[in-house]
Structure 1
Amino acid sequence: MTQSPPAAQAPRRFTLPSLSTLGPLIALIIAVIVFSTQSPRFFSGTNFSLILQQISYTAVLAIGQTLIILIAGIDLSVGIVMALGGLVMARLATQYGLHPLLAILGGFLTTMLFGAANSLIITRLRVPPFIATLGMLGIVQALNQTYSGSQTISNLPPLLTALGNTFRVGGTAITYGTLVMLALYAVAWFMLSQTAPGRHVYAVGNNPEAARLSGISIDRVIIAVYTTAGLLYGIAALLLVARTGVGDPNAGQTDNLDSITAVVLGGTSLFGGRGNVLGTLLGAVIVGVFRNGLQLMGIPSVFQSLITGILIIGAVALDQASRRKG
């Protein structure tokens, strides 16, 4: 008895990455080429290091924002909570004389507390994330002014500003804060792509009902995500304090929008369940490159905001088109 030959397997078709994946990279390459032709100072190691230093704390905020948006949430209080964390660190170290490491821990605990508070308002009171975090923004903004007496806190101990110090690679000075930012992205990528909690984050954002039926506790995931984001806000506060040398009650006013911009430009869907934290890093770099390049070209800041707004709308439009095609 002869055996029939095995059926030939259909060849795998090569598919191009989606526009939401390719778009940010193409935009970054074009921006680098254009700005390099317009300013001789742009394409240099020193300038690229400056861009990474400028975006370091916003990029860390954007990691937390990515986690939240992946579960179809939003956090409008990120920048203000970061500012409060910086104020707590600065005041504990200067006015209360605590060891700088304890002051830093106090700042981390503060931002985690407000992250957890956001999650409890969402999960226990069933307040939509947009409204819950918008209300928290107003509360913490008032608290910042009250806690600091509307004054910046200076004369910080060296340990609080250590991440602002630099080391040299060739002729380029790089801050330790930049290394911390890159390390956090590596950790976040690993957690989201290689661990069960990371898969739970995607599952909750993609289809909450299916996630619940598979045994995932939706509320626990939301609480864990917002609390983890709060810790990241505390780290961002430390990077900001290290860069500026002060605790500033007026810091973080626009960082909620900047963090969302980085997430959206990086290809993460505002509807949850789809995205990549490394894309967020790319989005943060795009924002930094555009602002730096436009400044070197002498373009007023109002047009920098205009171009950032156009980038956001374009990124969301691509996401919508990709969803409809899917």
Structure 2
Amino acid sequence: MFDWLQHFSDWLIYSVFQIGASTRLGIALNFFVYDVVKILILLFVIVFLMGIINAYLPIEKLRDYLHRKKLYGLEYLFASTFGAITPFCSCSSVPLFIGFVQGGIPLGVTFAFLITSPLVNEVAIALFIGMFGLKATLIYAVSGILLGTIGGWLLGKLKLDHLLSDWVKKILANKLQQFEYEEEKLTFRQRLPEITRGAWDIVKGVVIYVVIGIGIGAAMHGYVPENFFNQYLGGGQWWTVPLAVLVAVPMYANAAGIVPVIQVFVAKGVPLGTAIAFMMATVGLSIPEATLLKKVMTMKLIAIYFGVVTFFIILSGYIFNLIL
């Protein structure tokens, strides 16, 4: 879908600025241009679509439906599975997170999506099958969905809505006022300008976080050497799994981009479970993601979210090393 953007990034960095495609600076800048433009486009489109949904569908009824006890937690599984079939990295998932919260979806259910979306996608699954076989692929995919389901359920039980940022609370308050005072029989054409302005206001509100977050990720992507990780993660000691998760946090890549690196790790002697834990932390616990989330969450909520996900990733790494 974004092939044209990759061509544009290649043209801009390698042809216009004449920076070598194999240089660290060229790799970092290409990554930066591609991801900033992609995420801003996704953010506008998704929030715009959520604005249409909010205007025409009974979001309050959907919210009430998701709260019903008779679902027995399946709403978290549904959200996590939806996250697994959407091809987004962690930073690309943040616009959807904003849209879900804006649409009144319970926070725990939204977290279930946010956790799983970067961890599992169809491209990464295809690569996993080719590189590690069907057994490892099934364990990876199922564990990613379960991690999102259980993590979302736990975060939902903690009742953390009050820790959303004031910016999000203001959006929710304005949405409620809009539903209270808006003329329900307005045509789509009449509502379109207001929906567009709302989407654009949200994009303007987070653009600085997108630029800073992706800038950090691009620097890590272009300048952190691969061999550093092979040297310290290949021993198989008990502490290598937590260490793999910790050193992965400053990194930033999507699952499809990191799977070939994981194959190199395993070939160099890093246990597969440790390598998968590193991959999950890279795509699900990145500093750029935390930077973007700062716009929608307080620091306390970000710390709780990262702490829960970190615990489950480390636990998954140990389990993978036992059964793979």
Per the shorter chain, which TM-score range? under 0.3
Give TM-score scaled by structure 1 length.
0.27
- In the superposition, the TM-score normalised over structure 2's length comes to 0.28
